[in-house]
Amino acid sequence: MFSTDLLAANLLSPVVLAFALGLIARALRSDLEMPAAIQSYLSIFLLLAIGLKGGVALRQDAPDNLPVFIMATLLLGVVTAASAYFLAKLWLRDGRTNAAAMAAHFGSVSAVTFIAAQQFSERGGQAADSVLVALVVAMEIPAILIGLALAKGAKGVRWHDIREVVTGKTALLLLGGLAIGFLSSEDGLAKVDAMYFQLFQGTLMLFMLDMGMLAAGQLRVVGREAFKLGLFATVVPLLHGLLGVLVGHWIGMNAPTAAVFGTMAASASYIAAPASIRASLPEANVGRCITAALGFTFPFNLAIGIPVYFAIANSLNS
């Protein structure tokens, strides 16, 4: 079921190697830094670009069962958030607030992990369906709201909290890019092709270099909780990833699409969820959630998880 060639191809891809370079730079205490303005630009560029690409592909081939996909995604987001909450209470011995913060992070989606999984499918010669761009947002929003509801109770979630999640950078750029790509003419898209399509891979490498440096910085502050937090942040994504692949297969997704869908379920947010939780649950230990998501889950999925989810999806469709 699992191919070592698949794993080796992923580990030696430019995206993963750029991430490793960032880790090495921090280990060597290099003075390499990514300015904050550049960090912001790279994330905006990538989110808008993936939305554009998804919109173009969706216009050309929209699935007939899109409502089924969206409903399954919403339910999966609820299940992954709830399971992360109870496992955080059971294994990490977290109180209600911190367990709910973990639920929001591990029920939500890492857009960069999603992009890495899409790139993996394209390298394998079988690109995943474009509808997944819309499903990223469909999974992210309920998971964060479930996390807030678990901490506050359903009556404690205010309109301000909902608005914060829906209008966040990730949702806005992905859906906005999706709409632009879907509505734009071929001539119009040709004018931005050089920037948003041809430069995508190089820009992603720069972003992954920065992610490697950030992940190394998070791992330095783990302390005595490293084993328990690391086990939680790798086992929970594996369970979520397996569930995501199975759900994707069950609702009729092809193998690469189900694998990327599983990767979405396996990922943990370190951009959208921290911003929402900081604003609505200031008493939660958000730094610990970011350490788990970025220091453990992200590199695990990038190096090992993605090939595993693809191997499982391929075995289900063989």
pLDDT of residue 122: 84
Question: What pLDDT score does 141 carry?
Answer: 81
Instruction: Record the tokens describing residue 251, joined without a space.
Output: 């609702």
* Percent above pLDDT 70 for the chain: 96
What pLDDT score does 5 carry? Answer: 66
Phi and psi at 130, nearest 5°, equal: -70, -20
Give residue 163's pLDDT band: very low, low, confident or very high (50, 70, 90): confident
Boundaries of every domain in the chain = 35-316
Quick one: average pLDDT of 232-261? Answer: 96
Residue 6 has a pLDDT of 66
Mean pLDDT taken over the chain: 87
CATH class of 35-316: mainly alpha
Instruction: Please say if the pLDDT value at position 154 is more than 70.
Output: no
pLDDT the model gives residue 78: 92
Q: Give the pLDDT confidence of 66-124 residue by residue, as tens digits.
A: 889 989 999 999 999 999 999 999 999 999 999 999 999 999 999 889 988 988 888 87
C-beta pairs of 234-239 under 8 Å, 24+ apart in sequence: 234/296, 234/297, 234/300, 236/83, 236/84, 236/87, 236/106, 236/297, 237/106, 237/266, 237/267, 237/268, 237/297, 237/300, 237/301, 237/305, 238/266, 238/305, 238/308, 239/83
pLDDT of residue 3: 58
Span of 13-22, 164-173, 187-196 with lowest mean pLDDT:
164-173
pLDDT in tens, 193-230: 888 888 888 898 998 899 889 888 877 777 778 899 99
Which of 127-136, 211-220, 226-235 ranks highest by mean pLDDT?
A: 226-235
Cα–Cα distance measured from residue 191 to residue 188, given in angstroms and rounded to the nearest whole number: 6
Q: Which helix (H) or strand (E) holds 231?
A: helix 226-250
Nearest to 165 by CA among 133, 136, 134, 137: 137
**Average of per-residue pLDDT across 55-71:** 81
Give the Cα separation of 307 and 16 in Å (integer).
12
- State the pTM of this model: 0.85
Q: How confident is the model at residue 262 (pLDDT cuts 50, 70, 90)?
A: very high
